[in-house]
């Protein structure tokens, strides 16, 4: 039946958005790359939505979804972080620079330290592989989902472009902050950290109060903090989930 291909169509749109974002990120158009990551995550939501609505879940859809997420939410944030680290070092890593020009085979326009950003891509691949075989993550998560992690990373160029306050820019383009965020990102992706799912099985407030609270905080944060709200919300989501799990409040 044709309807079983509807979720796959949205998954492929997610993949296409991620491919465009990857090309833009390589060309250092980080704001536009972030926009296409957002578009891809939007399509990622709808592939699952239509699979449930049309009652056509499939093993093919699960695997295809992970492959699309690997590009949109795995490869692209790694490239974005690599570009940010490179920019933070002024395209010249000082004591970290290896004199590539003494070896004609190699000529790179980025400092080797920037390659640490690709740890995000490796950690995302590992998480997605684990997710496909982990039966615990049907209604909740163990570790930070790759789309949430991607939002946290690709929000940085948006903040730098549209909320260019001196202290914020100084932090975003501090190489040690970026390296630290890279290691935090890789740890959160694969940590044995229970996080509540964001899908509503009913609209009942009693069983979904923490989801409603998160939505309310998100709306409030966007109104006052704009793009700065994105990484703050992801970190709040992690801490809030950990607190709920610790006190058995879910």
16-40 confidence digits (pLDDT tens): 999 999 999 999 999 999 999 999 9
Q: What is the pTM for the complete model shown?
A: 0.90
105-115 confidence digits (pLDDT tens): 555 677 889 99
219-223 average pLDDT score: 94
Q: What is the pLDDT of residue 92?
A: 46
Domain range 2-192, its CATH number among 1.10.510.10, 1.20.120.1760, 3.40.50.300, 3.40.190.10: 1.20.120.1760
94-105 average pLDDT score: 47
Q: What is the pLDDT of residue 102?
A: 53
Q: What is the pLDDT of residue 127?
A: 95
Q: What is the pLDDT of residue 93?
A: 40
- Tell whether the model's pLDDT for residue 99 goes beyond 80: no
Average pLDDT, the chain: 88
- If phi > 0 it is left, if psi is from -120 to 50 it is alpha, else beta; for residue 248 that is left
Domain ranges of the chain: 2-192
- Tell whether the model's pLDDT for residue 150 goes beyond 60: yes
Residue 186 half-sphere exposure, CB side, CA atoms within 13 Å?
17
Q: What is the pLDDT of residue 96?
A: 41
Q: What is the pLDDT of residue 198?
A: 81
**Number of other residues whose CB lies within 10 A of the CB of residue 189:** 25
């Amino acid at each position: 039946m044709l309807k079983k291909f509807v979720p796959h169509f949205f998954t492929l749109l997610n993949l296409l958005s991620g491919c465009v974002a990857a090309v833009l990120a390589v060309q250092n158009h980080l704001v536009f790359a972030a926009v296409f990551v957002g578009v891809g995550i939007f399509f990622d939501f709808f592939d699952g939505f239509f699979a449930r609505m049309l009652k056509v879940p499939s093993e093919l859809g699960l695997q295809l979804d992970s492959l699309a997420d690997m590009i949109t939410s795995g490869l692209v944030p790694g490239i974005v972080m690599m570009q940010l680290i490179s920019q933070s070092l002024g395209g010249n890593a000082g004591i970290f620079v290896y004199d590539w020009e003494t070896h004609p085979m190699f000529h790179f326009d980025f400092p080797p330290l920037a390659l640490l950003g690709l740890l995000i891509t490796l950690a995302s691949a590992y998480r997605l592989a684990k997710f496909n075989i982990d039966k615990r993550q049907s209604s909740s998560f163990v570790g930070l989902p790759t789309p949430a992690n991607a939002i946290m990373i690709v929000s940085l160029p948006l903040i730098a472009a549209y909320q260019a306050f001196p202290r914020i820019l100084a932090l975003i383009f501090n190489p040690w902050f970026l390296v630290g965020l890279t290691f935090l990102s890789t740890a959160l992706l694969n940590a044995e950290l229970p996080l509540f799912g964001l899908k509503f099985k009913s609209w009942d407030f009693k069983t979904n109060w923490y989801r409603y609270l998160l939505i309310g905080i998100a709306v409030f944060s966007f109104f006052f903090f704009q793009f700065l709200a994105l990484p703050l919300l992801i970190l709040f989501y992690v801490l809030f989930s950990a607190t709920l799990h610790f006190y058995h409040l879910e």
